[in-house]
Structures are given as C-alpha cells and as structure tokens.
Amino acid sequence: MKFYKYQGTGNDFVMIDNRLGEWDDLSIENIQKLCDRRFGIGADGLIKINSAEGVDFEVDYYNSDGSKSFCGNGARCSVAFAHFLDMIEDKTTFTAIDGIHEAEIKKGIVKLKMGDVNNINTDGNDFVLNTGSPHYVKYVEMLKNYNVYENGNKIRNSETYKKEGINVNFVEKISDKELFVRTYERGVEGETYSCGTGVTAAALTFMQKSNQTSVGVKVLGGNLKVYAEKDGNGFKNIWLEGPAVQVFKGDINL
C-alpha cells in the first residue's frame, strides 16, 4: 500500500489515494494497525480519498480505533492532499460523513467551511454542540498544567455521554481575540495535539458570549483561526483555517 502522512497543527493522518477503489475493503483491524504508533505508521486517524459524483472527491475518515467520524483537521489535510495530487486548484467542493463542504487552499493554508450549527446547549456551566462531531466544552484556568486525559476521560465515559461518546474540549481565554484549547478525542481515547471540530466548537461558545466574528485558537500543535456569523442561537458561514502539511510518504505491507 502506498500512503502519505499529513499533519494539521499536529493532528496527524495516514492518507490513501483510493480513487480507483483499491482499498474499499480496508478492515477496521487494518486501520488500527496502520494508525498504531509502535507497530504501524502511527496517526490519529486514516483518510481515504474516494471518487464521488457531483463534487471533487469524498473524504472517508476513520479514527485510530476504526470508527467513522468527521474530522476538521483531517478534512483540511485532505484538501492539501487533493491539491498535491492535482485533483483541484485553489478552491474545491467535497463530501464527508456530515455532508458537503467547501474549501480553499493558498500557500499551504487551508480554509474549510464547516456545517452550520443550529444551537448550543448547556450542561451545567459547560457547553454541548455538534460541529460535525459531538463536543463538550469546558472553560478552565491554568490549562497548561491541566490533566486533560483524566478529566476528559471522566466526562467522555460519564453516564450521559458514554454510549455515543463525546469529544471533550478544555478552554482557557488568553485575550479577547485568542483562546487556548486542549482536546480529549473519542475514537483516539486520549489527547491530540489539535482537533479542528473541537477548536471550532470552543470558538463558537466564545463568540456567542463576545459577539465576535473571528477568533484565534492556540493548540499544542500550533495555531488555527475560526470565522463565523451568528444566526439565532446558532452560527452559519463557519470557517476553520490553518496549515496542512505533507510530512512523508512510503509503502507498507498489510
């Protein structure tokens, strides 16, 4: 199998060009093996770029445990990969598990249009919303020293969220224009260096209170930016922007 390794602010992915359908039957066990950091390539997730009618391509995303989801950083890396393969120029439309997305790429920076968010719910003092994947958002202080794994795992496996699973984001306000976000991801079952849908979820809860239309977000793997317009209790025209980089490529036997 020929593969490419991409990362978007430290959120890393095994990318496979599957336009000919060669890897349609890739098993969950294969995906787990390829994503294993000791016995495989190592990644937070695996993405197959498939052919699709009416759009440029399909993003077929799998978490490292083999479960399917939508991944914002994975989608951004998919756009960079499609650009590398000369499938697209600077603008594209593609489909993913949550529907159709638009995106732009310029000098390695990918700006991805996310789905509209109709409402933001609360759980005590915290927030729950879906930005393509379900997210729990909790504001904390001293996030740098916060135990993300322990606290994230506790919320993700609580009675309320255990069955379906939820991604848990811990947020610290740095300034009126910037947040620091760390995320415990379901499907990875640990902290990742960045989570695009989580960053978006955190930014929207902040924008709801601050009435801003953009916010910068610092993650362990770098910096992202989120743009959005308020629409009732929700948001529309939501965009996630940041770098997407090819790290290496290779061949592996399954």
Q: Is the pLDDT of residue 146 over 90?
A: yes
157 is in an annotated binding site: no
At 16, the pLDDT band (50, 70, 90 cuts) reads very high
155 has a pLDDT exceeding 90: yes
* Overall CATH class of domain 2-113+244-251: alpha beta
Q: 219 to each of 8, 14, 228, 234, 243, how far by Cα in Å?
A: 11, 21, 19, 24, 13
Q: What is the pLDDT of residues 236-248, one digit of tens each?
A: 999 999 999 999 9
35 part of the active site: no
d(CA 33, CA 65): 9
Supply 181's token pair.
């976000």
Evaluate whether 147 touches 155 at the Cβ level (below 8 Å): no
Do 2-113+244-251 and 121-241 come out as alike in CATH topology?
yes
d(CA 53, CA 65): 28
Which one of the listed residues 96, 148, 195, 215 is annotated catalytic?
195
* Domain ranges within the chain, ordered by starting residue: 2-113+244-251, 121-241
Query: Tens digits of per-residue pLDDT, 22-59?
Result: 999 999 999 999 999 999 999 999 999 999 999 999 99
The model carries a pTM of 0.94
Res 211 pLDDT > 90: no
Is 147 marked as binding a ligand?
A: no
Residue of 16, 35, 71, 112 marked catalytic: 71
- Look up the CATH number of domain 121-241: 3.10.310.10
3-state secondary structure of 83: helix
DSSP H helices, 36-144, are: 72-84
Mean pLDDT of 9-30: 98
